[in-house]
Structure 1
Amino acid sequence: MDPSHRESAQLCSGSSYGRPSSMCQCPGLSAKKRCCEGLKIFLAAMCFVYFAKALSGSYLKSTITQIEKRFEIPSSLVGIIDGSFEIGNLLVILLVSYFGAKLHRPKLIGSGCLLMSLGTFLIAVPHFIMGRYTYEGTPFHPFNSTIAVPPCLRDSKDQKLYSEIEKSRMNTDHGCDGDLASTMWLCVLLGNLLRGVGEAPIQPLGISYIDDYAREDNTAFYIGCIQTAAVIGPIFGFLLGSFCASLFVDVGFVDLNQVPITPQDSRWVGAWWLGYLVAGAISLFATIPFWFLPKEQPRPDLRKNSSTPSEQSKFILEDLKDPKIEGQLLRMSKDFLPSLKDLLGNPVFFLYLCGSVFQFNSLVGMVTYKPKYIEQQYGQTSTQTNLIIGLINIPAVALGIFSGGLIMKKFRINILGAAKLLLISAVIGYLMLMTLFVLGCERSTVAGLTFSYEGSAQISSQESPNSQCNLQCLCPKDHWDPVCGDNGVTYYSACYAGCRMSNRTGNTAVYYNCSCVMQPLLGLSGGSATAGPCSKGRHCSRMFLYFMAISVVTSFTLSLGGTPGYILLLRCIKPELKSLALGIYTMAIRVLGKNKLDTVIV
């Protein structure tokens, strides 16, 4: 290659003597396209990686109840597992944000994607190490559906039959499976922690890279596209969660015709592990483009002579093997504390940081526990809940974020206008959010808890699941396996309902001759019951429709200020501190806001 062509190649690659090139056409290299297309490739790669990380994060949300049942751990421990993502992220976020801005940002993002993929695969590993899933309950033996066990054990003959079947079940289990299952949740925690470490460079380095090399009037639109992709991810994440929750946990390993429970049964555990394999593969595929992108991009003509330099203009680390690299890194380290003081001393940045912390604190319950709230309050199954959120709620968030970026670009809104739009959307959104508190359902009629066995809504504080109708049934006190009686009352289990007979049609269990269930027409005991809690009724279904309608509008309104908020954050600080500012913002939200930024407001 002659010297002229070599110089042209350097200009086309976006770097000449460590500075971004200002050229948009590469002379002498007819096969090359316009250099500005490199930024579009980076933008597309960022959209895909945001989609991938949001999909895996939302899928984790959808499997919280499944993991809780499968590993037999309390909700408090599940919260620690969920929070391990933030722990891993916080370990490296400041270092990655500050030092990563001076290094090869695309490759660092690719490395983070690779770690995310490995962590996601690690979460699914326990399923292949643990034994097959066994569950409590006496209606049918889980591996032999031809043997029926009376739910209410009243005589020695029934008790002997139950003891023999339980002994047979215990013999089929491996002795070490119980001990192994009690510790395998640590593997899930470590996998989620590794996901947090891998996610750290994506947001601060990716957003700052876009802002460095995009036209100023296009930055808001590009960020809106990235955030919209981040919202589309949870749509597929919750749909994937809905599909996997409808499959039995040991699908492919056991004969499903021999499984006597259905997704409506409280003991059902879906194929939670399957979605992590899919999410891990998507994250792995997202790493590929970043390894082929240049360290720098050519800057647009309108910004060549502007006062907004690239983040890499202060420190240029072209060759990590350069003997002077140690001195440059030392100088960067010395400038860290002054840069941090400069950021925190900026009143606009500090106020935006505090406002964001308060906002995410107020919405953390809505984000993390909304699926579980819908299940418990409105009587929806895990499959139905994930499907509803994925198809209705999350698209409203995507539309709001994209609309915010489009408004910023179309009307060329400045930093003051961005602040006003952010404030208006937040005020209106929170006012609408307050109305959700009045859209609840009446409490469920559970015998011995909210409803007496005698049929009265007045219940004493000393009431218990035991009553005269089930005293001889020897029911386990710590086993919640609800059934719905013909009288519309939910019972702790078929045993507490006093059911003497059971039958199974397909995967549906029906119980007969229940001494605690009053027959609706005759007013006598001995009614029947079906597996699962009783329906909440039409009034609750109507309240659920109102809840979802207001929730959708609220999500759109709140997300409308998302992109203006990012622009306010990027424009109120020095350009060379953008990555560090985004890193501090992310760290503050994760520590004080206790929220996951990889999952959108739903």
Structure 2
Amino acid sequence: MCVFQLFLASLAFVYFAKAFAGAYMKSSITQIERRFDIPSSLIGVIDGSFEMGNLLIIAFVSYFGAKLHRPRLIGIGCLIMAVGSFLVALPHFFQGLYKYETSVSHKAAVNSTETILPCLFSPRPPECEKAAGSPMWIYVFLGNMLRGIGETPVMPLGISYLDDFSREENTPFYLACIHTVGILGPMFGFMLGSFLSKIYVDTGFVNLDTITITYKDSRWVGAWWLGFIVTGTVVLLSSIPFFFLPKSLPKQGQEQEEIQSKSTELATKTEQEQFLPEETQEKVKFQEMAKDFIPSLKRLFRNRIYSLIILASLVIVNGFIGLITFKPKYIEQVYGQSATKAIFLIGTEQKLCNGHCFCSVKHWDPVCAYNGMTYASPCLAGCQTSTGMGKEMVFHNCTCINEAGLAANASAVLGQCPRKDDCDIKFKIYMALSVIGSYISACGGTPGYIVLLRSIQPDLKSLALGMQTLIVRTLGGIPPPIYFGALIDRTCLKWGTKHCGGRGACRLYNANAFRLTYLGMITGLYFLANTVWGYLYYSIVKRQKKIALKNQSKENGQESNAVTNGHANINIADIDDMGTECTI
């Protein structure tokens, strides 16, 4: 039993590692979007590449993998996941230093006593506007796809291996233990993402005193690449034990005599197979597995309960993926950022009182005036001079602020103005509700797996789990980041400008439109999913009643001899109307 316990601990660690890496990827979405200056719709495609990788091989791994060395396949998958994580981090070392858009003179950042006239900066040369953007995000796309390919064997092969060699009554407990350890992964992943997001992307390569933005600025990019090296290393370590685990284990509670008997039978069969050429053995085994694939799929999808589980999972995963992918952006834009639509428009309208300054409306270099208003740039605020350096720079003699009725020496500081105090209270309420909702959702994880495993025949377990993963990942994992991202892009108020021109990542969203779009989509999908779950529960109860009636009829028939040949006088098709399946 020590081997089984080693497998259980190893599988739990893999669940932690893959959740750790997946959560960190989600937490880095905003940083990646800013680093490569891409819209949310494209970042949704990059995020969906994980499910694309799953899609490529999940069906074959689930079916053929169940008949091969499952622990070894899980170990190989972990190695591929680790390589994918390292590949995601690779663009950082090829792309050069991060250059954010700014209208502040670098000379002013070096000499704190120098007076500048930011409104007289000359525009960028026209030829630079035609420069192409960096295609380095393709490495992130491919690396995330490799992560998806590597994660493929973990769930279907790991759970089927666990269920095959554990006591039937112990399986729910083991699944609960594995998922409990796995739940810690997202917590550590988001904690790591939060920590690294406050460290500048090029830390160690630039003088941080010359950086004029803080981690609260919408142009800030954290050290996103470092987290993928950390998560890749953790996933790599998790692969090691699986290369030392056997292909099969004795069933828990099996008597030693039975084990020896089965071992003898297996040895005899192996000896008989040794007389056949090795190539012939492999060809026969593969042909036998392949010819049963389509019939197995038909048997699987005739099961109504299984099909309803797939449908419910598909809808709820659409909502969950959209929720988790853009949750950091939602928190940042609705609770963490400062400018609302009204404040932003008031600030940009001042470009009419500064026509002689040639202020560019493309620049996003926000400053906060002492009247609590955010201006898109010092130029649009009409600032004439500045003092200080880096993040401590202060702008003075801002004429547009003077027109608001303030003193003659009105000033502004770098960054957007902070939100009101009530935003902090609302944020705490939102997070409390999120924790409660996550806890309630997690409570249904283990029962859902048990219902799925007990509603299908034992030989279809790996295929059923694999097909569930295939369908849910394909239709529930790939589209949501794309259509959520496209809808969120429609709420953008201010698009960033790439270093050599062209539209970059969104710098500011309409908070109200963002909230209604984001929460409205999630609420609608969750409501639909709960409706399907309700119908699934009704179907299970109805089916169990029919099975009980069938068993009772058989017992009565045997006792009273009222039924010919010992069979109950009842239509089996009416009872088992879900197809060939096992009792829950």
TM-score tier (shorter): 0.7 to 0.9
Q: TM-score w.r.t. structure 1 length?
A: 0.72
Gaps of 5+ in 2: 481-521, 523-584
- The CA deviation at 1:595 is 6.4
CA distance in 1, matches of 2:108, 2:410: 28
CA distance in 1, matches of 2:394, 2:109: 17
Contact 2:101 2:364 in 1 (8 A): no
Residue in 2 that maps onto 1:17: none
Match of residue 139, structure 2, among 164, 175, 187? 187
Does 2:397 match 1:513? yes
Does 2:206 match 1:254? yes
Residue in 1 that maps onto 2:443: 560
Residue in 2 that maps onto 1:6: none
Does 2:3 match 1:38? yes
Does 2:241 match 1:357? no
CA offsets 1:378-435 (integer angstroms, 9 cap, x no match): 1269xxxxxxxxxxxxxxxxxxxxxxxxxxxxxxxxxxxxxxxxxxxxxxxxxxxxxx
Residue in 1 that maps onto 2:48: 83
Contact 1:486 1:519 in 2 (8 A): no
Residue in 1 that maps onto 2:538: none
Contact 1:151 1:494 in 2 (8 A): no
- The CA deviation at 1:444 is 5.2
Residue in 2 that maps onto 1:324: 281
Residue in 2 that maps onto 1:538: 421
Residue in 2 that maps onto 1:122: 87
Alignment-mate amino acid for residue 513 of structure 1: N
Match of residue 99, structure 2, among 118, 131, 134? 134
Alignment-mate amino acid for residue 509 of structure 1: M
Secondary structure at 1:323 match in 2: helix
- The CA deviation at 1:265 is 2.4
Match of residue 484, structure 1, among 358, 368, 373? 368
CA distance in 2, matches of 1:502, 1:150: 6
Change (3 A) 1:183 1:342: same
Residue in 2 that maps onto 1:589: 472
- The CA deviation at 1:506 is 5.7
CA distance in 1, matches of 2:255, 2:353: 82
Does 2:119 match 1:153? yes
Secondary structure at 1:183 match in 2: coil
> Following superposition of structure 1 onto structure 2, how do residues 302-321 of structure 1 map, counting pairs within 5 Å?
321=278
CA distance in 1, matches of 2:45, 2:92: 20
Decide which moves more: 260-269 or 364-373.
260-269
Change (3 A) 1:364 1:594: same
Contact 1:139 1:149 in 2 (8 A): no
- The CA deviation at 1:259 is 2.5
Gaps of 5+ in 1: 1-35, 168-174, 382-441, 454-463
CA offsets 1:474-530 (integer angstroms, 9 cap, x no match): 22222323222111112212222111122335633322221222588x645652222
Residue in 1 that maps onto 2:549: none
Decide which moves more: 186-195 or 470-479.
470-479
CA distance in 2, matches of 1:297, 1:115: 26
CA distance in 2, matches of 1:501, 1:56: 47
CA distance in 1, matches of 2:12, 2:448: 19
CA offsets 1:77-130 (integer angstroms, 9 cap, x no match): 111111111111100000000000000000000000000000100011111111
Alignment-mate amino acid for residue 183 of structure 2: V
> Following superposition of structure 1 onto structure 2, how do residues 437-452 of structure 1 map, counting pairs within 5 Å?
443=340, 445-448=342-345, 452=346
Residue in 1 that maps onto 2:453: 570
Q: TM-score w.r.t. structure 2 length?
A: 0.74
Residue in 2 that maps onto 1:375: 332
Aligned Cα RMSD in Å? 3.1
Report the number of matched residues. 465
Contact 1:89 1:199 in 2 (8 A): yes
CA offsets 1:159-200 (integer angstroms, 9 cap, x no match): 4xx68xx89xxxxxxx9xx76x61111111111111111110
Aligned sequence identity (%): 48
Contact 1:112 1:198 in 2 (8 A): yes
Residue in 2 that maps onto 1:291: 243
Larger relative helix fraction: 2
> Following superposition of structure 1 onto structure 2, how do residues 379-458 of structure 1 map, counting pairs within 5 Å?
379=336, 443=340, 445-448=342-345, 452=346
Change (3 A) 1:142 1:298: farther
Match of residue 38, structure 2, among 73, 81, 89? 73
Does 2:25 match 1:52? no
CA offsets 1:14-73 (integer angstroms, 9 cap, x no match): xxxxxxxxxxxxxxxxxxxxxx12111011111111111111111111111111111122
Residue in 2 that maps onto 1:170: none
CA offsets 1:222-259 (integer angstroms, 9 cap, x no match): 11121122221111111111121111111122222332
Alignment-mate amino acid for residue 38 of structure 1: V
CA distance in 1, matches of 2:55, 2:19: 18
Secondary structure at 2:410 match in 1: strand
Residue in 2 that maps onto 1:366: 323
Match of residue 232, structure 1, among 155, 170, 184? 184
Alignment-mate amino acid for residue 221 of structure 1: F
Residue in 2 that maps onto 1:212: 164
CA distance in 2, matches of 1:210, 1:328: 24
Secondary structure at 1:376 match in 2: helix
Secondary structure at 1:573 match in 2: coil
Change (3 A) 1:49 1:596: farther
Secondary structure at 1:101 match in 2: helix
Contact 2:75 2:242 in 1 (8 A): yes
Alignment-mate amino acid for residue 266 of structure 1: S
CA offsets 1:327-362 (integer angstroms, 9 cap, x no match): 111111110011111111111111111111121223
Alignment-mate amino acid for residue 110 of structure 1: G
Alignment-mate amino acid for residue 481 of structure 1: D
Alignment-mate amino acid for residue 19 of structure 2: A
Decide which moves more: 187-196 or 527-536.
527-536
Change (3 A) 1:518 1:569: farther
